[in-house]
Structure 1
Amino acid sequence: MLDDFMTRATLAGVGVAFAAAPLGCFVVWRRMAYFGDATAHAAILGIALSLTFQLSVFTGALAVALAMALTVTLLSGRGYAMDTLLGVMAHSALAFGLVAVSFLSGVRIDLMAYLFGDILAVSRTDLLVIWGGAVLVVALIAWRWSHLLTATLNEELAYASGFNPRREQLILTLALAITVAVAIKVVGVLLIAAMLIIPAAASRSLARSPESMALIAAAIGAFSAVTGLRAAYMFDTPAGPSIVCVAAILFACLSVVGLQTRDRSKLN
């Protein structure tokens, strides 16, 4: 069954959706959209280092994404505004990564595949990495769920409850780095933030609790992956961007439905 490239692509897309869903909810709640984008951009430098030292792309992307996220977390609040710090580091890492790739000799690299994904070329080994990363991210978020929620709502309440909200931030940072590393093959560096944010944002109008929002976001992400792949196959369009387009259409439709529901509730 896994010999069929479309089956492997579908499983890869669903795996990334499951990893990105709960993490994307925290990204939306904490207004960390730019943080996720910056971490994803830094992964290009990790890819260049992986090719230079003949390591797996996952290893290099994970190491640099984690280093980037940790650096931003540690430097925030020390003289620089967060958006300024993210902007400088994100675009610097992306630029250095692209320049480093250009210096690689004797290595054939499809840069577009890393920027926008190449989900149709996913191998069995890639599937193991993607699903292993997805399971790890989901387990990590589930383990710290209540603490992460408390730290997201109110840092002072977190301290009063006996735990450090900064540690929960580092856990989210680790989960984000893992998600970025496993999603590169599927949607590419430039679209990873979209798969984190759009399904989570789309689920807000349907959710009645944080847990239901994470589950609905996972369902929206998985549906977007399956439908986007089928649309790409039918219309001969890029697979990664097609997945994001389906998610964006769902977000628009659910937003309209949510607005109409709120308007009717106000009238009643």
Structure 2
Amino acid sequence: MTLLDSFLIRAALAGLGVAIAAAPLGCFVVWRRMAYFGDATAHASILGVALALSFQTSIFTGVLVVSLLMATTVSTLSNRGYAMDTLLGVLAHSALAFGLVAVSFLQGVRIDLMAYLFGDILAVGRLDLAVIWGGALLVLALLWWRWSALLTATLNPDLAYAAGIDPRREQLVLTIALALVVAVAIKVVGVLLIAAMLIIPAATSRPFASTPERMALIAAAIGGLSALGGLQLAFALDTPTGPTIVCLAAVMFALSSLTSLFFRGNRI
């Protein structure tokens, strides 16, 4: 019997993989105020699940393609004068609704809709683990490669242009990274809670960070603690694992906010 034969070990590794990819990317989501953007991309992924099952291809591929299409569509339309909040509201909920309807038309396919909406981390297999960590490492590699350019484009687009950096290209890098995170996280926390794993660890780390790099590292640590602690709590309390992970992350955010009221530190 090997270590990966234990479903709890596989679940813990899956949670860690998602956390270390989602949390640093979530810092850019927080800095750019793109929370609803992440939500829209995540909601669209249920349509990717339906299409993948219809064409008998991998769930990862279907979710990744649809998430990329949604993120690209939002980026394109927002640059053409559409109000971002209205656009994201329409696309996010429409994509989720179309996805749920499409799933209902699948014939001869048994699908646990709750597992896709809220995650099923305890059912993660070896192949799922390879996909999650492969996607997570790719996201981290993208962020490492473009970190300086992404940061400059986020803080000041005019300065980015002056430095020879195209903010639209950096937006595309973030779009690809976001779609990858959605594709690997759907098994762990589900469509409805992916955005929480992006935003909450990043927001929690903000009061304790004096540099962007430190904020990303602290966010990854908080995301990892939330994943491991939430898994242990769910096992002990017999509660849904994905929501329990997010609940623990939310408690840590509340404690972080209370702490920052008493100890005013540097904020990013």
What amino acid maps onto 2:252 in structure 1?
L
Show the counterpart of 2:263.
Answer: 261
**Aligned residue for 1:85?**
87
Which letter maps to 1:23? L
Which residue of the other structure, out of 41, 66, 89, is the alignment partner of 2:43? 41
Q: Secondary structure at the match of 1:262?
A: coil
Q: Which residue of 2 aligns with 1:61?
A: 63
Deviations 1:177-196 (A, max 9, x none): 00000000000000000000
List gaps (5 residues or longer) in structure 1: none
Residue 10 of structure 1: how far off its partner (Å): 0.3
| Local SS of the residue matching 2:5 | coil
* Equivalent position of 1:218 in the other structure: 220
Equivalence for 2:191? 189
Q: Deviations over 1:159-208 (max 9, x none)?
A: 00012101000000000000000000000000000000000000001111
Tell me the CA shift for residue 77 of structure 1. 3.2
Q: Distance in 2 between matches of 1:77 and 1:187?
A: 31
The secondary structure found in structure 2 opposite 1:185 is coil
Q: Structure 2 counterpart of 1:78, which letter?
A: R
Q: 1: CA distance between counterparts of 2:155 and 2:165?
A: 14
Match of 2:165 in 1: 163
- 2:128 is the counterpart of 1:126: yes
* Number of residue pairs the alignment of both structures matches: 264
**Per-residue Cα deviation, 1:127-168 (whole angstroms, up to 9, x for no partner):** 000000000000000100000000000110000001210100
1:10-65 deviations in whole A, cap 9, x for unaligned? 00000000110110000000000000000000000000000000011000000000
Distance 1:209 1:24 in 2: 15
What is the distance in 1 between the residues matched to 2:252 and 2:33? 21
CA distance in 2, matches of 1:134, 1:11: 12
| CA-CA distance at 1:88 after TM superposition | 1.0
* Alpha-carbon distance in 1 for matches of 2:196, 2:36: 11
Q: Which whole-Å deviations, capped at 9, do the CAs of 1:89-125 have from their partners, x for residues lacking one?
A: 1111111100000000100000000000000000000
Give, in whole Å, the separation in 1 of the partners of 2:126 and 2:112: 20
Q: Identify the residue that residue 227 of structure 1 maps to in structure 2.
A: 229
Q: Aligned AA for 2:263?
A: T
Match among 22, 26, 29 for residue 27 of structure 1: 29
Q: Which 4+ residue blocks in structure 1 deviate beyond 2 angstroms?
A: none
Q: Please report the TM-score for the alignment, with normalisation by the length of structure 2.
A: 0.97
| Displacement of 1:79 | 3.4
The residue identity in structure 2 corresponding to 1:102 is: S
State the percentage of identical aligned residues.
Answer: 74
- Is residue 2:244 matched to residue 1:242? yes
The one-letter code matched in structure 1 to 2:116 is: Y
RMSD of aligned alpha carbons: 1.0
Aligned to 2:99: 97
SS in 2 for 1:74: helix
Give 3-state SS (helix, strand or coil) of 2:151's partner.
Answer: helix
